[in-house]
A and B are shown apart, each in its own frame.
Chain A
């Protein structure tokens, strides 16, 4: 069975405890406007344009006339096939489970007692059945499994992977049903059902909730109140907050997708949120990306 992924990032230090390999899986049911991994949203192949590799020089480029980039369109599979200098890359690879395991094991020595593999995305849970044999084998080898999830996924998928997961990073985003549906495309009821399920079946696994702070979406008085309530009700091990960053800007450009710039929060604003959420009695960490 193969897994559809966008990339594998070795030596990840921001995606869970210790040194990790992060596997970015493709496919997500949401369309968060601030998404930092837009190449992972689609569950099909999409194509990026790498400007620094492009000749641009019309006389030197054999596909000049048909190249969608030079004609200012989104890059396509045809561009990928025909661009002989590799300026168009394909975001998406179906990787056989055993190949993925081999890739993950390359950095095994760096994982130590705390590190391991993190499945991120996209929404990793959407490929639960493809991942199950992979995580089973990794678990047998003593590799710690972490998952970064929005929890907007079918309950059966969560149940399938639940026994293998050592660490959860669960997003808390927009907690207003209408806004969640409209802005993110998510059903908040599903989210809370899944969250209840995870928290009551977590066993020894570690759960950290993550709040991306985005003006006009998650960073509002009402939303933060709901976040605080959720923390008090579900009692995760920790909560991380961070200001949404603009690190994904280049990706939007290369995918020829429209990019919305979100102003970042100041240190003072972040601290104020941390202080407020701290009232829930959960350790709050500010992450600076």
Chain B
């Protein structure tokens, strides 16, 4: 038994190593063997049985095919000409991905994007052809032809099948060539087709966009709510298929976000039957995927606030709330045109993307603790004798660090993307691929992590070095670098300082805003190779990934311990205080790339108090919180679920910006959720 476990651990280590190489140099290793390893890695996250994994390799290897060509559309044509169809669980719709076949990549693929599905609902594929002899047009038309051929093959398969709705599905697939969609069912089928094509052509973290808006005109009075619900249920279940294949960094990290609701340019609020229905269906299906992001605004109708509160407490880990009154103002301030700012969706998690953009908003995470390491390496620590001197050193180090980041950003080469380009008006009119800057907007976005640790660290240094004189900066830095070995008292002092990130005291708030503004200054002059600017936000999935192998920090955190999650508070900060804090942060200009307040709520706290919880959410939005998400769960349940996963097979939790089955998370993520739930219970 022990040998088997060690064997499995060894295999995991090898896979992790290969994945780390893939992340850095994936394009160099494209091929059958490497793709088999990637699939095995993904499958291995849900199947732990060693024999089953060996069987999986044996079954998978012969099926894996990678189609390459210097001409990307040609490669897509080969791919689509060869994929096999999977028509399982199809009733109203078909949805099929051949997970074994892909195209060869030569650059970093555009990911974390959401296409505007209206482009294929209100147009036919033929409408997407371009009448020009440019290379872009040739590639575009070649790809459209490939899709038409693919749909014809799919239609023939459907015709042979015993799918109940096959007559309509065949008609929809045929009509897609030359007609726009004419019914809700047809429009939803088209969305599924274009969605599966994105996954099939190697895209990751594929968003669903504003589905209630996209489908609004099809909500005719003759459709019963039960029929619409039936369609929505099957639609969501299809998207949940291939869950392990779609999951990226962790199980559940699929980026399949449905954006609902939203503020209109005239200040009114858009919602329809589908807005509440999608939330209700996701909650009742009890599946972690797709996820919901609800765009909220002061004008949102009262019943939707209650629906939102019910959704958040229904243990599916969503919706994530995005405050249009702040987000849209920020997007306008950054320079997006109103029509695009008001029509924003988000990248896989929370980073707003204005309409007409394939911006890469989640390229990497800036770790706010790194400048302290740079200061250490620079030396001359005895000269740090005041808070002002420290802050100047910190900002100088931050500048160096941001320069390194921008140098890397400029080195990225994106994979040519005829599919996304075909669905982008700007690319089509410029006849320039999205990967080469064809989109209307070509900005980059990065995320940031550990700002809460830095704020706590700065408060500590101020208290214990400059005010109390208990230590010098150098002494404290030595202790930190030695992981506080032999300095447990100092560490406890640092950990127990009452002044922390998340409290609504003016000093802390202005310190956060100062660092955010300085970060902005550091990146103000950067222009990426596509001509875009750089933006950032205070949320990042890297609070565990980047904390591994990272030294201890001045907030009393030990080496390898996780960083703070997004905008969240440690021990003892009440929810309203955290929200007041978050409402007073400056989200203007470049500081718009997702700023999520993450909090944990004990179910007993909201039981019987749903209206108060809804009111709390509404007022927080009105006060100016940018975005927020919650786990409504107690530590006891999480502990039991960790100990006996089979008893809690469907327990869903919110991780960084997505929801996932608790049992499928790595143990460090499980432990961190348990710890945060316990902290939250100490507040209550």
Contact = CB atoms under 8 A, between A and B. Distances in A.
B616 A53 contact: no
Given A10-B576, A55-B489, A86 B496 contact: yes
A57 interface: yes
Interface in B608-627: 608-609, 612-613, 615-616, 619, 622-623
B607 interface: yes
Interface stretch (A11-19, A25-33, A173-181): A11-19
Interface in A91-150: 106-107, 109-110, 112
Contacts of B580: 106-107
Contacts of B613: 13
Nearest to A287: B608
A162 to B, nearest CB: 27
Interface in A7-48: 9-11, 13-14, 18-19
Interface in A66-85: 84-85
B245 interface: no
B607 A288 contact: yes
B230 interface: no
A61 interface: yes
B615 A85 contact: no
A139 B489 CA distance: 46
Contacts of A86: 492-493, 496
A112 B615 CA distance: 9
Nearest to B571: A52
Given A106-B504, A109-B623, A110-B615, A85 B489 contact: yes
Contacts of A288: 604, 607-608
A109 B622 contact: yes
Contact of A10 (B492, B577, B605): B577
A9 B577 CA distance: 10
Contacts of B619: 19, 109-110, 112
A112 B606 CA distance: 18
A147 B489 CA distance: 42
Nearest to B498: A86
Contact of A11 (B488, B489, B496, B575): B575
Contacts of B616: 11, 19, 110
B26 interface: no
Contacts of B496: 53, 85-86
B574 interface: yes
Contacts of A53: 492, 495-496
A62 interface: yes
A107 B606 CA distance: 18
A interface, over-half SS: loop
A232 to B, nearest CB: 27
B519 to A, nearest CB: 28
Contacts of B493: 84-86
Contacts of A10: 574-577
Contacts of B623: 109
Interface in B536-580: 574-577, 580
B491 to A, nearest CB: 9
Contact of A84 (B489, B607, B622): B489
A266 B669 CA distance: 36
Interface in B504-553: 504
A11 B580 CA distance: 12
A9 B615 contact: no
Contacts of B606: 13
A109 B619 CA distance: 7
Given A11-B575, A18-B615, A110-B576, A85 B492 contact: yes
B492 A11 contact: no
Nearest to B623: A109
Given A19-B616, A106-B504, A13 B489 contact: no
B489 A62 contact: yes
Nearest to A21: B576
Given A11-B616, A13-B609, A109-B622, A60 B576 contact: no
A57 B485 CA distance: 13
A9 B574 contact: yes
A19 B618 CA distance: 12
A244 B622 CA distance: 37
A14 B496 CA distance: 29
Nearest to A110: B619
Nearest to A20: B612
B612 A13 contact: yes
Q: Which of B496, B575, B612 has the most CB of A within 10 A?
A: B612
Nearest to B580: A106
A13 B611 CA distance: 10
A19 B489 contact: no
A18 B489 contact: no
Contacts of A110: 576, 615-616, 619
Contacts of B575: 10-11
B492 A55 contact: yes
Nearest to B609: A13
Contacts of B574: 9-11
Nearest to A112: B615
17 contacts: A10-B576, A13-B606, A14-B609, A19-B615, A19-B619, A53-B495, A60-B488, A61-B489, A85-B492, A85-B493, A86-B496, A87-B492, A107-B576, A109-B619, A110-B619, A112-B615, A288-B604
**8 closest Cβ pairs, A-B complex:** A85-B492, A10-B574, A86-B496, A11-B576, A13-B609, A107-B576, A60-B488, A13-B612
Given A19-B576, A109-B623, 14 more contacts: A9-B574, A11-B616, A13-B609, A19-B616, A55-B489, A57-B488, A60-B488, A61-B489, A84-B493, A85-B492, A106-B576, A106-B580, A109-B619, A110-B616
